[in-house]
């Protein structure tokens, strides 16, 4: 969001009305519709760019087709019959596929990776796909795989398996994600571009305490211990190994920065496979060192740049090398200009800021001349594609239709697939042109809610409690809304970092349960508060050392605006949220007991001292250096203030917000003779899915119906 862009007070941006007149013969949502009915999600047309060409592949019935974006000419690549004949398979619908290049179609079947040469119409190679976890394949045509079994990492060179590590100590874990998936980490294996080396994470969890989970699905009930590093306590120690495929030797990168509980994030291979870049973060998350190491020896080569922030720094994106000039790369940070922006660097540091945008920016693609990125600069609730000329810095917006655009640029750089929606537009797929010329629509989804009686949804914004920001909301008025009546309100809240609940997507990012409740006479209000994402660093960091405080102030500010409407029944305000939203729910009902009468909190954080090191120490510092922040935000201290009806739901084998949180809150309520309600989902982890979620949402609904109606 541009800071000069100010909307005074609450501004209604747009409203989605049902497209048909309201008639009573249209259906209401069932709870199965809410959770399980995929027909209520707009359809799409999946397409995939073929190699470096201007053509994209898509499935038309049983044929795999290609369309040339230049002239819209379509051809059949291969029929399902021919594919089945070539592979001796009997797929009933076209299976998942990729292209190694324009002539090489790749399809997996029966544990083999089959490459079909489209010119000769023959299977030119069959590679065995090894069995393991975290399976990682080299890019391009080769057959090198790396993967894990239990705690060790292995590679498969096309013929045989080699153990890269062989630790028997269960506290040493190799090849898996580390740092509990923070800092953009999602895997633990990194194959070099030339496929001659395999980098892998190794973590030592010896010092991390166990947390016991009870598995009730076994005959006698069994223990499943997990390693859970809690705030301020001993944490895991991570290193990076580099395995040489030819010599079968491993070196470890010699990191000496900070202390041993440092974070090794955003591992990036140099294009020549000779060096490896690591964004190293100290445990307090105040400093980043972007270092480069020799991949053959593990030795330190140089430090590219450093970052520091008195609150926190949070690297999230690996480097991206410039295709035409491998001495340069793109570095993403939000620690330089207040927003996530892209910076052109070399090993000597930053050469220049590539995106001069007061909005959060995300790298998408590049060609010889331009970098493509999406950003929030039109509006925080819209996502548009831009290009910036590397040489001149000229920025050009490439998507025009309002809404949220997801884009994939073609290998040639001349076209992009643009899949977008907005409040009233279910989904459109277009082939856009990076030269700015008009796009061609190739798919438009029907409105899947036709036949259902949906209530009015509107998006708008309301001032944050400190008056500095516009916080965006989604508001759903009850079905058959009558402004002369008074309606109960349910605030649905998440409110935590890295989240955005309100977007200008189809139905404004609606969770269908909200519509279910609106159909039953509730006003639904959902708002992103300070601390959430896509609004720049200052907005996000307002929560530092006191999670929940700014967030609550903003939620109450939004609600107070809502309560200026006569149709809001101020005596019937409820709140519901899960995880951080569970924390927010209990924070709100205990800090504002006169406003919130009913709450349903799922998997709530109760005291940040029980939450994990990586996420928690970023926002809260730690129990030793911020005791007053922990005391202020701890809901243990607030249990005695609970006046309303509160239901807590909890996955009983939750490895994220462990059971100690909600059970401790219950214990404190009991101590204070305060009534609270509780429901465990015995086999659920942090979230509840599938049929269990039908049960859960019926329970949540019943609770509001029992106590808020």
Return the active site residues: 579, 654, 686
Distance of CA 646 to the CA centre of its chain: 29
State which residue, 229 or 536, has the beta carbon closest to its own copies.
Answer: 229
C-alpha to C-alpha distance for 205 and 180, rounded to whole angstroms: 12
- C-alpha dihedral over 88, 91, 97, 99, to 10 degrees? 30
State which residue, 367 or 612, has the beta carbon closest to its own copies.
Answer: 612
C-alpha to C-alpha distance for 310 and 291, rounded to whole angstroms: 21
**Distance of closest approach, residue 582 Cβ to its own copies, in angstroms:** 16
State which residue, 34 or 507, has the beta carbon closest to its own copies.
Answer: 34
CB atoms within 10 A of CB 327: 12
**Distance of closest approach, residue 309 Cβ to its own copies, in angstroms:** 29
Strand partners, 646: 599
**Distance of closest approach, residue 668 Cβ to its own copies, in angstroms:** 9
Distance of CA 327 to the CA centre of its chain: 31
3-state secondary structure 242-279: EEECCCCEEEECCCCCCCCCCEEEEEEECCCCCEEEEE
Nearest to 604 by CA among 669, 540, 557, 673: 669
3-state secondary structure of 695: helix
C-alpha to C-alpha distance for 78 and 62, rounded to whole angstroms: 9
State which residue, 195 or 696, has the beta carbon closest to its own copies.
Answer: 696
C-alpha to C-alpha distance for 371 and 503, rounded to whole angstroms: 25
Nearest to 680 by CA among 180, 211, 213, 31: 213
State which residue, 403 or 574, has the beta carbon closest to its own copies.
Answer: 574
**Distance of closest approach, residue 664 Cβ to its own copies, in angstroms:** 6
- Write out the H or E segment, with its range, that includes residue 396: strand 395-397
Nearest to 331 by CA among 271, 277, 286, 275: 277
Q: What is the DSSP letter of 285?
A: S
State which residue, 211 or 312, has the beta carbon closest to its own copies.
Answer: 211
End-to-end CA distance of the chain: 38
Q: Which residues bind its own copies (CB under 8 A)?
A: 209-212, 214, 216, 219-223, 225, 228, 230, 233, 609-610, 652, 658-660, 663-664, 666-667, 669-671, 673, 675, 677-683, 691-692, 694-695, 698-699, 702, 706
Distance of CA 193 to the CA centre of its chain: 26
**Distance of closest approach, residue 41 Cβ to its own copies, in angstroms:** 22
State which residue, 71 or 673, has the beta carbon closest to its own copies.
Answer: 673
Q: What is the DSSP letter of 229?
A: -
**Distance of closest approach, residue 224 Cβ to its own copies, in angstroms:** 9
Burial of 46 (0-12, 13-18, 19+ CB in 10 A): exposed
**Distance of closest approach, residue 226 Cβ to its own copies, in angstroms:** 11
Q: Tokens for 82, please give them.
A: 């021919």
State which residue, 562 or 669, has the beta carbon closest to its own copies.
Answer: 669
Q: Tokens for 135, please give them.
A: 């399976």
**Distance of closest approach, residue 659 Cβ to its own copies, in angstroms:** 6
């Amino acid at each position: 969001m541009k800071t000069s862009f100010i909307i005074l007070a609450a501004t209604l941006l747009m409203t989605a009305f049902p497209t048909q007149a309201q008639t009573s013969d249209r259906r209401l949502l069932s709870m199965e519709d809410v959770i399980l009915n995929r027909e209520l999600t707009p359809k799409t047309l999946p397409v995939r760019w073929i190699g470096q060409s201007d053509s994209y592949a898509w499935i038309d019935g049983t044929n795999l087709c290609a369309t040339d974006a230049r002239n819209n000419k379509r051809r059949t690549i291969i029929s399902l019959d021919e594919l089945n004949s070539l592979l001796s398979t009997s797929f009933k619908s076209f299976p998942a596929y990729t292209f190694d290049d324009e002539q090489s179609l790749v399809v997996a079947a029966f544990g083999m990776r089959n490459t079909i040469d489209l010119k000769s119409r023959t299977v030119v190679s069959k590679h065995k796909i090894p069995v393991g976890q975290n399976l990682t394949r080299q890019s391009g045509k080769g057959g090198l795989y790396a993967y894990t079994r239990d705690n060790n990492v292995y590679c498969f060179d096309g013929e045989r398996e080699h153990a890269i590590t062989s630790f028997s100590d269960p506290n040493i874990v190799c090849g898996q994600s580390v740092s509990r998936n923070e800092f953009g980490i999602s895997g633990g294996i990194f194959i070099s571009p030339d496929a001659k080396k395999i980098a892998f994470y190794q973590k030592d969890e010896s010092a991390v305490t166990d947390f016991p989970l009870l598995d009730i699905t076994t005959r006698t009930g069994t223990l499943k211990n997990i390693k859970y590093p809690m705030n301020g306590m001993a944490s895991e120690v991570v290193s990076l190994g580099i395995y040489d495929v030819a010599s079968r030797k491993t070196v470890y990168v010699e990191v000496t920065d900070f202390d041993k509980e440092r974070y090794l994030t955003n591992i990036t291979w140099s294009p020549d496979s000779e060096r490896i870049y690591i964004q190293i973060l100290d445990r307090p998350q105040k400093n980043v060192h972007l270092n480069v190491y020799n991949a053959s020896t593990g030795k330190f080569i140089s430090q590219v740049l450093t970052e520091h922030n008195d609150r926190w720094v949070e690297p999230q994106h690996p480097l991206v090398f410039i295709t035409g000039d491998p001495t340069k790369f793109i570095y993403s940070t939000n620690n330089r200009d207040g927003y996530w922006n892209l910076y052109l660097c070399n090993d000597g540091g930053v050469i220049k800021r590539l995106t001069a945008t007061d909005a959060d920016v995300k790298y998408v693609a590049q060609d010889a001349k331009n970098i493509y990125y999406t950003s929030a600069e039109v509006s925080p609730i819209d996502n548009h594609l831009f290009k910036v000329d590397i040489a001149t810095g000229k920025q050009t917006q490439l998507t025009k239709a309002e809404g949220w655009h997801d884009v994939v640029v073609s290998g040639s750089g001349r076209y992009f697939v643009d899949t977008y929606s907005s409040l009233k537009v279910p989904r459109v797929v277009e082939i856009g042109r990076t030269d700015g010329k008009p796009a061609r629509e190739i798919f438009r989804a029907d409105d899947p809610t036709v036949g259902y009686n949906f209530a009015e949804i509107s998006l708008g914004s309301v001032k944050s409690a400190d008056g500095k920001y516009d916080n965006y909301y989604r508001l759903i008025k009850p079905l058959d809304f009558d402004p002369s009546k008074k309606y109960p309100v349910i605030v649905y809240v998440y409110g935590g970092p890295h989240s955005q609940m309100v977007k200008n997507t189809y139905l404004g990012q609606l969770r269908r349960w909200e519509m279910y409740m609106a159909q039953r006479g509730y006003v639904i209000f959902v708002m992103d508060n300070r601390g959430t994402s896509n609004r720049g660093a200052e907005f996000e960091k307002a929560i530092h050392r006191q999670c929940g405080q700014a967030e609550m102030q903003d939620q109450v500010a939004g609600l107070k605006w809502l309560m200026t409407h006569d149709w809001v029944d101020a005596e019937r305000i409820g709140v519901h949220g899960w995880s951080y939203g569970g924390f927010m729910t209990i924070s709100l009902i205990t800090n504002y007991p006169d406003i919130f009468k009913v709450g349903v909190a799922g998997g709530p954080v109760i005291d940040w001292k029980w939450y994990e090191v990586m996420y928690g120490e970023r926002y809260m510092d730690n129990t030793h250096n911020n005791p007053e922040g922990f005391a202020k935000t701890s809901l243990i201290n607030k249990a005695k203030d609970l006046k309303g009806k509160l239901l807590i739901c909890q996955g009983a084998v939750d490895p994220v917000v462990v059971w100690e949180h909600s059970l401790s809150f219950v214990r404190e309520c009991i101590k204070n003779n305060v009534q609270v309600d509780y429901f465990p989902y015995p086999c659920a982890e942090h979230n509840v899915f599938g049929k269990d979620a039908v049960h859960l949402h019926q329970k949540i609904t019943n609770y509001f119906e029992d106590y808020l109606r």
